[in-house]
């Protein structure tokens, strides 16, 4: 009797264990099915992306400008400008309203084209003479691009317009190369003209500004802007908002590199922008602000928009003084207001 009871109990236990095992297996199957359903709900693109290895891209730091290497960005000024070099002068009275490291000699990038344009305008060469872009005009130093392909034919007047308004490098180089006597003669005249104007800190090695050896100071550039602003051709072409040229069967649209020329709040008579890594962002202008003809020079700015913002800061600052007090706007200096020669 005891054996029967034992057997019956054993069978009951075994049956219970089998039932539990069956339930567990069913639960596992349900869980697996649920996981498959979840995976199916994930888009195929996401499933593939989860398998891709992480790619790390090395960030190459931007090379410093000459102004940064000279420590010119270490000082602060009263207007908190982002340009390490700045100069604002009343064109009529020659009064210096604002100065910041104006004696520092730095690369000037495409501000160079202002002297290029001045020589072409003064030479009274035929503006309708056709000039062909050649391989010699291609930038081999910085590798900059251009929409003027080798073989393009444009008039001297069109090339001058593009050089001053859109800072077209091949246009500027072609102007110097096609000058009577060739490029060496033209570069020599650039330096001679600078000396005649009293620009003792200035030196040029080519007509575009792509070379960092084209250098000057804010003081010298203010002298150049003051003189060049008296040339009607330079005034008109440098402040033109846009220009079209026919290249073969195509018509190319060019725009001014200085957005302020389209701003109705500004009355700009002459302007030129510039940029290469060694020079930073640069801007020179002759503009009427609060009834005064001002010359503004901004060199080695931190960003493309910051040079524009610096000009806006100066404009608001000058406008903040009542008209009778405009003649006594206080000077704003920087703690690094000293001559720095960058070679």
Q: Which residues are identified as catalytic?
A: 110, 113, 167
- Phi–psi pair at 281, nearest 5 degrees: -85, 130
Buried b (16+ CB within 10 A) or exposed e, 80-99: ebbbbbbbbbbbeeeebbbb
CB 295 within 8 A of CB 226: yes
Integer Cα distance of 15 and 147 in angstroms: 87
Angle between helices 169-177 and 156-165 (to 10 degrees): 140
CB 275 within 8 A of CB 283: no
Q: Is 148 exposed, middle or buried (0-12, 13-18, 19+ CB in 10 A)?
A: buried
Helices marked H in 197-262 — which ranges?
218-228, 232-238
- Reading the block at residue 169, the tokens are 């490098």
Integer Cα distance of 186 and 168 in angstroms: 18
Q: Which strand (E) or helix (H) includes residue 80?
A: none
Half-sphere exposure of 38 toward its Cβ, with a 13 Å CA cutoff? 6
CB atoms within 10 A of CB 333: 15
CB 269 within 8 A of CB 295: no
């Amino acid at each position: 009797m005891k054996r029967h009871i034992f057997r019956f109990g054993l069978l009951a236990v075994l049956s219970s264990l089998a039932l539990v095992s069956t339930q567990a297996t069913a639960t596992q199957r349900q869980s697996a099915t649920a996981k498959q359903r979840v995976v199916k709900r994930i888009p195929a693109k996401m499933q593939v992306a989860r398998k891709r290895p992480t790619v790390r891209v090395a960030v190459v730091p931007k090379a410093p400008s000459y102004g940064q290497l000279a420590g010119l960005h270490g000082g602060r000024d009263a207007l908190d400008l982002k340009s390490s070099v700045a100069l604002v002068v009343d064109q009529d009275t020659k009064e210096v309203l604002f100065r910041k490291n104006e004696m520092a000699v730095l690369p000037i990038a495409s501000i160079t084209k202002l002297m290029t344009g001045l020589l072409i305008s003064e030479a009274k060469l035929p503006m309708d003479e056709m000039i062909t872009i050649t391989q010699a005009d291609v930038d081999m130093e910085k590798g900059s691009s251009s929409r003027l392909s080798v073989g393009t034919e444009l008039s001297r007047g069109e090339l001058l317009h593009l050089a001053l308004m859109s800072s077209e490098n091949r246009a500027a180089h072609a102007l110097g190369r096609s000058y009577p006597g060739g490029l060496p003669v033209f570069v020599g005249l650039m330096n001679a003209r600078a000396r005649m104007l009293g620009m003792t800190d200035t030196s040029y090695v080519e007509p575009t500004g792509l070379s960092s050896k084209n250098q000057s100071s804010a003081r010298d550039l203010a002298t150049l802007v003051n003189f060049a602003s008296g040339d009607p051709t330079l005034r008109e072409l440098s402040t033109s908002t846009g220009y079209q040229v026919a290249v073969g069967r195509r018509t190319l649209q060019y725009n001014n590199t200085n957005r302020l020329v389209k701003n109705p709040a500004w009355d700009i008579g002459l302007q030129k922008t510039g940029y290469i890594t060694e020079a930073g962002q640069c801007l020179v202008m002759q503009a009427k602000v609060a009834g005064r003809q001002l010359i503004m020079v901004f060199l080695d700015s931190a960003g493309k928009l910051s040079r524009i913002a610096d000009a806006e800061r100066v404009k608001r600052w000058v406008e903040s003084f009542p008209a009778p007090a405009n003649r006594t706007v206080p000077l704003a200096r920087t703690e690094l207001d000293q001559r720095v020669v960058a070679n």
